Structure 1
């Protein structure tokens, strides 16, 4: 088991690993496989077991995404349990692993979010984190009294103010504010401060009605890819979830965020950048490829082709599945959403897939990096990105649950440990402590 693996523990920078738990796995057909945990998606025991596996693998954290609308229920499961509620339960089934929930600054009020997150930090003993998002879909807005989402720039301005209010509320309690003197004084009111915030988007008096969290502030994550998203991440985030198909795109994003952080007066080492990573691992590369092909075989072809057609703005209905992908227009001539299209062109250029292979590639992680092979081959890819300026670690996106997470923990983590790239035991007790290992961060709260 990974937690007991041993090997040379080299000093210096080490990898960070996060487990992004989603449904039956990140592959679009994962729920259709006969041994998927489909019937148990509302059972907290499933997520507790997955978190325990990630903790056995000494991961920094588990992460739950979230959305505020149901999507297309016929296409497969999307959301089941509200993340903060689920993580409060998982906190009782784990000991060290961090617990990160998504919170929408577009729909949540900061006092409510600060209170729930402070409570999770207390319940978990200092392991809470929050991924602040601005949300994506008008269907979500219509569940919150809006006809549509506010404009992009307005959402990010609200997000920045939202974070500032969170910080102000958490900072309103000094660590020694509670006196607990049974003779008559519970708290020292001079060490509890109102916020009295009156901004463009929020008016919050404070103070928070939950005492100071164990970490001071739960750890802030961000996943910004747009210009305002990158600025938000560089200004506030301690962990950044990134999207990068290949090493050059990862290096460009990594360098950009680190430079922006430095320009904002922050230590670039205080940001842990973790691109998404999909892995299929086998004793041989052929076995790993067979796992990938078995998942791809369960894709509903017509639906997947129609989805691809939407991405490339072409009628794909007549495309031959086991033939090469037909020629597509260069990115400079494409009039639709550019990011996804550019990623598809890079996949075609680098991998020369058949149409069927491209459908499977997009079904598991979309534009995120995918590594398929033996434990050593997957570790080679991880090490290359880590050592060549593409990542501080990875946000693992298991295509199939629990199989892909089990494979990574049992087979890849020991190789990373033997190479001195990853911890062989937890040395911190808080999520911020995990992120701060082998960097300039400490267990303390960032300024």
Structure 2
């Protein structure tokens, strides 16, 4: 297995993109710009992140909306369509998108992801999610979601089928010999012939082997089922941790699961989400943070908590600690994070709603480039993370400041690259080319059309 070696313990950085910034009030800033459906705006974001040598540009997704959603997510472009457009506007940065295993089909999604990988010359990644919204289910002819355990069983089988489809095209399958007239080697194109509980897929995929072997697999579930699935199938894990202790505990746990699954723990990268509030001085950073919090709509925060918990919390007193409540199983990991944070810091419901609305439970770092680099270095060296998924609170200002101030400080410390070394996302992340498991696939039954 060929592995691209990068200098030991360098940070990996993803840019988690919300078109109007991650803070719920960020769009109200005087210098805030952008639109969730403007390709020129996303192109600027992607090119700015590429200037900053980020590993990847990442967009999330949801399959339902409402007037209570964040301004960035109420209306938005379909992610793979967006990545295809950005693929021809960028050269080096990885392009990652969320897609659900609950409401798609393996053949369709494997083909679409492979297409983006070809268009980008090997820079595609898939953030695998199982979805947690009953509103999404109602948009796909269902009255509600499958239960948590069944969604993860479905996700595992979905990934198995996708891997079979991608592995069905071996290297060298396209011969293109003009002298002999042989275009392809049919022995190197193999069917999936998958028959499982949830999916029956013949194959082969009707697109040649991905430039990376297959797109990089990202997962974000922190529940026990999510961690087990990631241990078996993921190469990058997005997570949330409110403190270094929590980050280290998750890091140790997830790496142990990977080793128990028979994989090299170094072949799975853990990137917690973090919202840096960057200032040229600490006072400037704090002023930005305080201004953002003045724009938090507590009613919106209560609505977000109620959606996350699956319980209406609007009738509880706002200025008293959140009482013990039984929450729905959907979105378990983020619910646990918010509940643990409320308990640890003795937050009132109003304070927890502000956190949910402002950073959605992710960690916030407020300070200068040196302050942020100190924090990142500590997490990296003390094994709380392999890097971070950066969540700019306000665009364009906070992304521009991060690239202008923080990236050079990380480079000065030898913690981050000074140039892209390779052509594919997998190589730049230092991840191995996937092993071809031909026991998964079957010889192709050839026939003339």
2:19 to 20, 23, 34: 23
1:199 aligns with 2:196: yes
CA contact (8 A) 1:15 1:386 kept: yes
1:106 counterpart residue number: 102
Superposed CA deviations along residues 270-321 of structure 1, whole A, max 9, x for unmatched, are 00000000010111111001111122222234444665688798668875xx
Task: Evaluate the alpha carbon distance shift between residue 361 and residue 286 of structure 1 in structure 2; reply closer, same or farther with a 3 A threshold.
Answer: farther
1:345 aligns with 2:343: yes
Deviation at 1:398, TM superposition (A): 1.0
CA contact (8 A) 1:58 1:423 kept: yes
CA contact (8 A) 1:33 1:298 kept: no
TM (norm. structure 2) is 0.88
1:367 counterpart residue number: 361
1:222 counterpart residue number: 219
Task: Evaluate the alpha carbon distance shift between residue 160 and residue 30 of structure 1 in structure 2; reply closer, same or farther with a 3 A threshold.
Answer: same
Task: Evaluate the alpha carbon distance shift between residue 193 and residue 292 of structure 1 in structure 2; reply closer, same or farther with a 3 A threshold.
Answer: same
185-194 vs 256-265, greater mean Cα deviation = 185-194
1:58 aligns with 2:56: no
CA contact (8 A) 1:302 1:317 kept: no
Q: Distance in 2 between matches of 1:421 and 1:113?
A: 35
Task: Evaluate the alpha carbon distance shift between residue 403 and residue 217 of structure 1 in structure 2; reply closer, same or farther with a 3 A threshold.
Answer: same
Task: Evaluate the alpha carbon distance shift between residue 316 and residue 376 of structure 1 in structure 2; reply closer, same or farther with a 3 A threshold.
Answer: farther
Task: Evaluate the alpha carbon distance shift between residue 355 and residue 156 of structure 1 in structure 2; reply closer, same or farther with a 3 A threshold.
Answer: closer
2:282 counterpart residue number: 285
Deviation at 1:361, TM superposition (A): 3.5
354-363 vs 215-224, greater mean Cα deviation = 354-363
Superposed CA deviations along residues 124-148 of structure 1, whole A, max 9, x for unmatched, are 0000000110001011011111111
Deviation at 1:355, TM superposition (A): 8.4
2:67 to 64, 72, 76: 72
CA contact (8 A) 1:376 1:412 kept: yes
1:84 aligns with 2:73: no
Deviation at 1:406, TM superposition (A): 1.2
CA contact (8 A) 1:24 1:400 kept: yes
1:173 aligns with 2:169: yes
The gaps in structure 2 that reach 5 residues or longer are 1-5, 329-334, 437-449
CA contact (8 A) 1:305 1:317 kept: no
Q: Distance in 2 between matches of 1:203 and 1:173?
A: 19
Q: Distance in 1 between matches of 2:401 and 2:174?
A: 46
Q: Distance in 2 between matches of 1:143 and 1:199?
A: 25
1:4 counterpart residue number: none
1:126 counterpart residue number: 122
Matches within 5 A, 1:395-414: 395-414=389-408
1:48 counterpart residue number: 43
Deviation at 1:36, TM superposition (A): 2.6
Task: Evaluate the alpha carbon distance shift between residue 307 and residue 44 of structure 1 in structure 2; reply closer, same or farther with a 3 A threshold.
Answer: closer
Question: Number of residues paired by the alignment?
Answer: 420
SS of 2:50's partner is helix
Superposed CA deviations along residues 207-238 of structure 1, whole A, max 9, x for unmatched, are 00000010011100000111111100111100
What value does the CA root-mean-square deviation take over the aligned residues?
2.3
Q: Distance in 2 between matches of 1:206 and 1:179?
A: 20
Q: Distance in 1 between matches of 2:21 and 2:435?
A: 34
Deviation at 1:365, TM superposition (A): 2.1
2:332 counterpart residue number: none
Deviation at 1:360, TM superposition (A): 4.3
Q: Distance in 2 between matches of 1:157 and 1:202?
A: 11
CA contact (8 A) 1:87 1:99 kept: yes
Deviation at 1:376, TM superposition (A): 0.4
SS of 1:279's partner is strand
1:381 to 371, 375, 384: 375
CA contact (8 A) 1:313 1:336 kept: no
Deviation at 1:31, TM superposition (A): 2.5
2:262 to 262, 265, 284: 265
1:187 counterpart residue number: 184
The gaps in structure 1 that reach 5 residues or longer are 1-9, 320-324
Q: Distance in 1 between matches of 2:278 and 2:20?
A: 17
Deviation at 1:328, TM superposition (A): 5.2
Q: Distance in 2 between matches of 1:226 and 1:391?
A: 18
Q: Distance in 2 between matches of 1:355 and 1:67?
A: 26
